[in-house]
Amino acid sequence: MPSVGLTEPEERMSVLFEEMTREEIRKIAPEAVAVMPTAATEQHGPHMAVGTDTLLVTTVAERAAEQAADEVAVVITPPLAFGSSYHHYPFGGTLSLTSATFANVVLEVLEGLVRTGFRHLVVLNGHGGNKDLVGMANQDLVNRLKQPATVASCNYWDIAMPALAAADLMPAARIPGHAGQYETAAILSLQPDWVDEDARGRVRDMAEEESGLDVDLTGATVQTFGAWGKGSGHTDNPAAATAEVGAKMIDIIVEEVARFFRDFSKLPGPTVD
């Protein structure tokens, strides 16, 4: 017999695509924002787990979706945990897709979301090697396949960069980096057992390795064969990373990505004749 005067708390619908029924998805899709996280499974120096990028982008996506739920329904697809990571093969611990395969997988998932009824789509990227490829997929979806959708692609850290810089938690040049201060701090705050502290203590400053990864030519993206293989698989020293700083940065990133989801949902939908 139910207790008198007590009511069951209202359950909030999951933000995860895989936890919904087809009827729930069909009902919510036209007014919702669908988010596809893209990441990588690749080496992260001698001290970090290879699933770092996937954990970070999925955490940000899910928390931001929950935070934005007061204004817009955001549905998160399962992440694409394999990206363009050929440059990490010299170290092992890396699984990569070719650029063409990666872009086509993103494109076909986006097409599936449109066929399901979503009209506002976001590819939220969590691996730097994917950034140009997700933009290609977006262009093909709208311009070549002429799918009726409004699509955005973005690196989660770029959305939050102004707020992170204002918080002055670490040099902006180290965000996101690779297996350096930012990523190590973030993982320490989320999954500390994914950081090998003994190995972290032996990581050198990148400047000592002469790897060629610190090239800075304004307005240019530079790729040099063998540059990654000269170092130990990271971009900056993780020694100063702490879980406290990592948690603060994740909070800022989640808040800014949630704001982005709200703003994006207000953009006009596709024009259909």
Tell me how far apart the alpha carbons of residues 58 and 64 are, in angstroms, rounded to a whole number. Answer: 10
The model's pLDDT over 107-137, given as tens digits with 9 standing for 90+, comes to 999 999 999 999 999 999 999 999 999 999 9
Q: In the chain, what are the domain boundaries?
A: 17-265
Q: Which helix (H) or strand (E) holds 256?
A: helix 243-265
Identify the burial level of 60 via C-beta atoms within 10 angstroms of its C-beta, where 0-12 means exposed, 13-18 middle and 19 or more buried.
Answer: buried
The model's pLDDT over 178-205, given as tens digits with 9 standing for 90+, comes to 999 999 999 999 999 999 999 999 987 7
Closest to 187 (Cα-Cα) out of 234, 226, 224: 234
Tell me how far apart the alpha carbons of residues 47 and 34 are, in angstroms, rounded to a whole number. Answer: 34
Two tokens at 5?
A: 């005067």
The model's pLDDT over 209-260, given as tens digits with 9 standing for 90+, comes to 554 555 555 666 666 776 666 678 898 899 999 999 999 999 999 999 999 9
Cβ–Cβ under 8 Å, residues 153 and 135: yes
Range from 4-13, 23-32, 92-101, 199-208 carrying the lowest mean pLDDT: 4-13
Superfamily of domain 17-265: Creatininase (3.40.50.10310)
